[in-house]
Amino acid sequence: MPEKSLDQIPLTYLKGIGPSLEKKFALLQIFNLRDLLFHLPHRYEDRTKIHSIDKIELGEHVLLRGKIVSNSIQFGRRRSLVCSITDNTGVISLRFFHFSGGQKTALASEKYVQCYGEVRRGRSGLEIYHPEYKIVDGPDAPLTEDSLTPIYPTTEGMQQSRLRYFINQALEISDSSEDIQDLLPLEIASKFNLCGLITALQIVHHPPCDSPLHWTSDKFNSGQKRLAFEELLAHQLCMRKSRSNLQEKTAPALRSNNRLINLFLKHLPFKLTAGQQLAFQEISADLNNKVPMLRLLQGDVGSGKTVISALASLHAIDSGFQVAFMAPTEILAEQHFESFMQWFSHLGIKVGWLSGKLKGASRAQQLKNLASGDCQMIIGTHALFQDDVEYKSLGLIIIDEQHRFGVHQRLTLKDKARNTALSPHQLIMTATPIPRTLAMSAYADLDSSVIKELPLGRLPIDTAIVSNHRRGEVVKSIRKACAGGNQAYWVCTLIEESEALSIEAAEVTAEQLAKLLPDISIGLVHGRMKPEEKKSVMTNFREKLIQVLVATTVIEVGVDIPNANLMIIENPERLGLAQLHQLRGRVGRSDIQSYCILLYQPPLSKAAKERLSVMRDSTDGFYIAEKDLELRGAGQILGTQQTGLMSFKIAEIGRDAYLLDEVKESSELIFEHYPEVAESLIHRWLGERKNYASV
Ligand code: ADP
Ligand code: MG
């Protein structure tokens, strides 16, 4: 039995792991025995029951056993080894495109083979390509698997069977080790009915054989429940910690005299909605305080978040501090710049602009104005927070974000805040509402204000799902909209991640529309245009010199042209719900009726159909956000899947949402009564990644 604790024991301690495998494990972020134990399966396969060949269905994963009846090499487009087996109820072929001579000999007629794989339709009827297989003694050879087979996340060159072998070794060692400490205080475990940690690990790596296969998604899987609970708790604790770290810092207490705010409100052509007023009250209360604000402003598309950010800015400027406003894209930053110029310049406020593309003397001048405090409000992209940008007295940072970038941006900004003696306040605006469960987990370190209603008189957008076969009619509807004095967007969506292709599609569409609608002026905007070009197209559209704007998804967020009341989205089936909702939100911004046509390319997959129907049936961003989470999962929504930030080993926000209230309660208990446990829990589940939340 090892003396050291499991995270001190290198993988090479296990039978069969040498330096080269150790390197492969490193790719999976597994460095010691504890990491290995916490490398958890993401699904299971059932290899405890042999299927009968006559009962299997296409697409099923099955365990089969049968006698080999033929074995031959076929020459088609690709050479393959085909081996047919029968269990007396039917015949199925196993097909190998990569095979060796030895394999052909081993799979000789009359032998019995046991195999596992997915059933598909092949040249000879039902087939399994590259099954996992082994030769067995006969039809009655005993089955070796007596529990569901865990399938782990893995990397090239690391087969599941080897992973299982090593994890089993680790489990045996942990069995006799006191090291896998149950960190959860008994009070919490019993209150929320959680099993012990070792039991949980045993269950998850070796599910009982009578577990149903859907057991992974079953909340009554006690092992998984315990681990998911602990993991969510660790994330929650981490967020709380970063929050309390922030609260220990000092922000300037912005004591506004409201002079500018009152002037601004006097000139505003509309009255704030009740929701807007409430949100601003919450924000200004925070700004008055010397604890740094970290507040999320949520509201549906079109609910009027920009005005609130303007009021918050004025509050800071009224108090003698500077404001930095960051938008996720150049085009959106540009638009905010225009709005703020319009709103603020006659109030005598100097509004500046900074983007990555600003170079040379103009950039130098801008930096000078910021450092001297001459520029009170700066608007731009990430460029606002590059190292050489210095502020005289930055009091408030506003981030208008597409929430799929949420976590990353907070990371850079908190970083920036570190460089000044006083931490600025932060206001984060999300493009669309965040589902409650996500807000409770990914944004647990933020306070939140929600604008519940849209400005008075807004009509729900009328949305239709139309097949590309009816493109002609869609073009006619543009003519109708323009004849009434309104404008339209035609959006060409991203094709297979290729920006170049979608730009090409937009160019072609713009040409076609120009031919079909000779009396209507058509404009084009996309991400590869120069900033001046983009700007002039957007200005022309705003001034109605352009009636139809063909665009890529660059116009997704924030573009605000209330006279446009028709939007055509091409290939909407490629987009997620949040993005569609965001795009569609470019219309419906005044009291005229707006329309959205989802122009899809048939045939539609089942999932795409479901997404598009959600869009047709609802314009409620809060509802759509919940559906989005349900259909896509949290990682996709937060865009953190690739980076590993905020990704869970075992918890799944959607499935485990029911745990979140209890997790929150537990995190409060731990902070109050068991503070010493917090750090260890965070370390166990987040390891080095915890840095992302504590910068
Ligand atoms: P979003 O919340 O999507 O960022 P915007 O701030 O762009 O929304 O506001 C959408 C549109 O509604 C803008 O044209 C804005 O001027 C207008 N608006 C904002 N608040 C009100 C209000 N209280 N009454 C009427 N129109 C408003
Ligand atoms: Mg906006």
Look up the CATH number of the domain holding residue 67. 2.40.50.140
Please give the pLDDT value at position 630: 79
- How many whole angstroms from 608 Cα to the centroid of ligand 2? 27
* Domain-located, residue 383: yes
Please give the pLDDT value at position 688: 59
For the Cβ of 306 lying below 6 angstroms from any atom of ligand 1, the answer is yes
For the Cβ of 336 lying below 6 angstroms from any atom of ligand 1, the answer is no
Q: Is 473 exposed, middle or buried (0-12, 13-18, 19+ CB in 10 A)?
A: exposed
- How many whole angstroms from 519 Cα to the centroid of ligand 1? 32
Residue 560 bridge partners (DSSP): none
Task: Look up the domain containing 23 and give its range.
Answer: 6-44+154-216
E strand or H helix at 81, and its extent? strand 79-86
* Ligand 1 mutation pick, 306, 311, 458, max ligand atoms within 8 A of CB: 306
Angle (nearest 5°) at CA 52 between 60 and 214? 40
Among all ligands shown, which has an atom nearest to the Cα of 562? Answer: 1
Nearest CA, atom 20, ligand 1:
304
For the Cβ of 621 lying below 6 angstroms from any atom of ligand 1, the answer is no
* Domain-located, residue 1: no
Mean pLDDT value across the chain: 86
Distance between CA atoms of residues 367 and 391, nearest Å: 8
Residue 495 bridge partners (DSSP): 498
Q: Which of 82, 112, 144 is the last residue of a domain?
A: 144
- How many whole angstroms from 590 Cα to the centroid of ligand 1? 9
For the Cβ of 455 lying below 6 angstroms from any atom of ligand 1, the answer is yes
Average pLDDT over residues 10-14: 92
* Domain-located, residue 134: yes
Distance between CA atoms of residues 662 and 665, nearest Å: 5
**pLDDT above 50 (res 180):** yes
How sure is the predictor about 172, in pLDDT bands with cuts at 50, 70 and 90? Answer: confident
Does 117 share its domain with 183? no
Does 497 share its domain with 483? yes
Contacts of 307 (CB under 8 A, 6+ apart): 268, 272, 276
For the Cβ of 270 lying below 6 angstroms from any atom of ligand 1, the answer is yes
How sure is the predictor about 101, in pLDDT bands with cuts at 50, 70 and 90? Answer: confident
Angle (nearest 5°) at CA 399 between 394 and 405? 135
Average pLDDT over residues 602-618: 92
Tell me how crowded residue 628 is: count the other CB atoms within 10 A of its CB: 26
- How many whole angstroms from 287 Cα to the centroid of ligand 2? 21
pLDDT > 70 fraction of the chain, expressed in percent and rounded? 89
Is residue 431 a contact partner of residue 402, using CB atoms and an 8 Å limit? yes
Q: Which atom of ligand 1 is nearest to the CA of 308?
A: 6
Please give the pLDDT value at position 214: 57
Please give the pLDDT value at position 496: 57
For the Cβ of 458 lying below 6 angstroms from any atom of ligand 1, the answer is no
- How many whole angstroms from 585 Cα to the centroid of ligand 1? 11
202: helix, strand or coil: helix
Does 38 share its domain with 178? yes
Please give the pLDDT value at position 310: 97
Does 139 share its domain with 179? no
What single-letter amino acid sits at 56? Answer: I
487: helix, strand or coil: strand
Does 587 share its domain with 671? no
Does 534 share its domain with 674? no
Q: Is 36 exposed, middle or buried (0-12, 13-18, 19+ CB in 10 A)?
A: buried
* Domain-located, residue 341: yes
Please give the pLDDT value at position 600: 95
Nearest CA, atom 17, ligand 1:
304
How sure is the predictor about 189, in pLDDT bands with cuts at 50, 70 and 90? Answer: very high
Q: Which atom of ligand 1 is nearest to the CA of 303?
A: 2
* Domain-located, residue 318: yes
Lowest mean pLDDT of 31-45, 151-165, 192-206, 427-441, name the range.
Answer: 427-441
* Domain-located, residue 629: no
**pLDDT above 50 (res 69):** yes
* Ligand 1 mutation pick, 338, 560, 584, max ligand atoms within 8 A of CB: 560
Among all ligands shown, which has an atom nearest to the Cα of 297? Answer: 1
How sure is the predictor about 177, in pLDDT bands with cuts at 50, 70 and 90? Answer: low
Kindly provide the b/e burial profile for residues 396-416, where b requires at least 16 CB atoms within 10 angstroms of the residue's own CB: bbbbbbbbbebbbbbeebbeb
Does 181 share its domain with 138? no
How sure is the predictor about 413, in pLDDT bands with cuts at 50, 70 and 90? Answer: low
**pLDDT above 80 (res 267):** yes
Distance between CA atoms of residues 45 and 138, nearest Å: 23
What single-letter amino acid sits at 470? Answer: R
Q: Is 627 exposed, middle or buried (0-12, 13-18, 19+ CB in 10 A)?
A: buried
Does 235 share its domain with 287? no
Helices (H), 321-385: 330-344, 360-372
* Domain-located, residue 623: no
Please give the pLDDT value at position 22: 93
**The dihedral formed by the CA atoms of 268, 274, 280 and 283, expressed in degrees to the nearest 10:** -170
Average pLDDT over residues 8-15: 90
Is residue 573 a contact partner of residue 605, using CB atoms and an 8 Å limit? yes
pLDDT, one tens digit per residue, over 632-685 is: 765 555 554 433 345 677 887 777 888 888 999 999 999 899 998 998 898 888
For the Cβ of 588 lying below 6 angstroms from any atom of ligand 1, the answer is no
pLDDT > 90 fraction of the chain, expressed in percent and rounded? 49
Q: Is the bond leading into 603 cis (omega within 30 degrees of zero)?
A: yes
**pLDDT above 50 (res 404):** no
- CATH code of the domain containing 296: 3.40.50.300
Among all ligands shown, which has an atom nearest to the Cα of 280? Answer: 1
DSSP state of 51: P
* Ligand 1 mutation pick, 264, 265, 268, 270, max ligand atoms within 8 A of CB: 270
Q: Which atom of ligand 1 is nearest to the CA of 400?
A: 4
Nearest CA, atom 1, ligand 1:
302
**pLDDT above 70 (res 220):** no
Among all ligands shown, which has an atom nearest to the Cα of 309? Answer: 1
For the Cβ of 654 lying below 6 angstroms from any atom of ligand 1, the answer is no
Total number of domains constituting the chain: 5
* Domain-located, residue 647: no
Q: Which of 600, 618, 636 is the last residue of a domain?
A: 618
Whether the full predicted model's pTM is greater than 0.75, yes or no, is no
Does 476 share its domain with 612? yes
Angle (nearest 5°) at CA 69 between 68 and 74? 100
Q: Is 251 exposed, middle or buried (0-12, 13-18, 19+ CB in 10 A)?
A: buried
- How many whole angstroms from 633 Cα to the centroid of ligand 1? 30
For the Cβ of 301 lying below 6 angstroms from any atom of ligand 1, the answer is yes
For the Cβ of 658 lying below 6 angstroms from any atom of ligand 1, the answer is no
Q: Where are the beta strands (DSSP E) in 468-594?
A: 487-492, 522-525, 548-551, 564-570
Average pLDDT over residues 75-86: 91
Does 539 share its domain with 599? yes
Nearest CA, atom 9, ligand 1:
304
DSSP state of 392: S
Does 499 share its domain with 579? yes
Strand pairing class (125-129; 112-122)? antiparallel
Among all ligands shown, which has an atom nearest to the Cα of 560? Answer: 1
For the Cβ of 303 lying below 6 angstroms from any atom of ligand 1, the answer is yes
Average pLDDT over residues 580-594: 91
**pLDDT above 70 (res 212):** no
Among all ligands shown, which has an atom nearest to the Cα of 302? Answer: 1
- How many whole angstroms from 564 Cα to the centroid of ligand 1? 14
- How many whole angstroms from 301 Cα to the centroid of ligand 1? 9
Q: Which atom of ligand 1 is nearest to the CA of 300?
A: 2
Please give the pLDDT value at position 640: 44
For the Cβ of 352 lying below 6 angstroms from any atom of ligand 1, the answer is no
How sure is the predictor about 408, in pLDDT bands with cuts at 50, 70 and 90? Answer: very low
Among all ligands shown, which has an atom nearest to the Cα of 304? Answer: 1
Q: Which of 618, 636, 671 is the last residue of a domain?
A: 618
Does 384 share its domain with 469? no
